[in-house]
Structure 1
Amino acid sequence: MEARAVLRYARITPRKARRVIDLIRGKKAGEAMIALKFMPYRGARFVEKLLRSAMANAEQKDVAEPEEMRIVRAYVDEGPMMKRLFPRAMGRANIIKKKTSHITIVLAEEEEEADE
């Protein structure tokens, strides 16, 4: 059984969020939580809050012990961009693109290996 959490329209660029997600993908939720707590990246705060939500969802669904569940899928999609004008010399303007992200984390129970 799975538990998932999605954070949409997070005000962080997808590239910076992926840097954090790549470090926790495949780990147990408890281990990932400890790793996120000590990461120096700003994106770690977003992912930590999202992982906490996914663990709470697992607990609510009564799936398994949330700390022992594994992060089976974790990915970052690009959200819509907010476009802002930045005035330049001689009446011109540049566009500043403020990027957003959609971050998804899926937790699943660890499958027991059958010994034959």
Structure 2
Amino acid sequence: MEATAKLKFTRIAPRKVQIVLDLIRGKDTAEAMAILKHTPKAACEDLEKLLKSACANAETNFHMDKDNLYVSSCYVTPGPILKRIRPRAQGRAFRVFKRTSHVTLSVSEKE
């Protein structure tokens, strides 16, 4: 049994989120929360809230014990890309891609 939480359309590039997800994959939720709290990456704030949400879903919906939970799977997929224009010299314009992410985090109970 898995409890899942999803974060959609978050304004951070998937490559940056993937680095942090690799740190917490397979860890206990308490250890994963400590890693997220002390890692100086922009994605950690959103992922911390997502992990709390997944744990709350596990407790509330599936009656799992919060002390036995671990991060069973987590992945990120790219969302829509916001395309903006940056003015450059001599009347030219450069494209700026503001990438978004969809993050899915699942927690399971240890046997």
Tell whether the structures are fold-level matches, with TM greater than 0.5. Answer: yes
Counterpart mapping for 1:1-116 below 5 A? 1-111=1-111
TM-score, reference length from structure 2: 0.95
Using the TM superposition, give the Cα deviation of residue 67 of structure 1 relative to its aligned residue in structure 2, in angstroms.
3.7
Decide which structure has the larger Cα Rg and report it.
1
Q: Describe the superposition over 1:47-86 as per-residue Cα deviations: whole angstroms up to 9, x where unpaired.
A: 1010011011111114312242111110011111100011
Q: Describe the superposition over 1:8-42 as per-residue Cα deviations: whole angstroms up to 9, x where unpaired.
A: 01111101101100000000111101111111111
Q: Which residue of 2 aligns with 1:114?
A: none
Q: CA RMSD in A?
A: 1.0
Contact 1:30 1:68 in 2 (8 A): no
Matched length: 111
Secondary structure of the equivalent of 1:27?
Answer: coil
TM-score, reference length from structure 1: 0.91
Q: Distance in 1 between matches of 2:63 and 2:20?
A: 26
Using the TM superposition, give the Cα deviation of residue 109 of structure 1 relative to its aligned residue in structure 2, in angstroms.
1.2
Where structure 1 has 5 or more consecutive residues not aligned to the other structure, the ranges are 112-116
Contact 2:5 2:50 in 1 (8 A): yes
Contact 2:70 2:109 in 1 (8 A): yes
**Percent of counterpart pairs with the same letter?**
47
> Runs of at least 4 residues of structure 1 off by over 6 A?
none
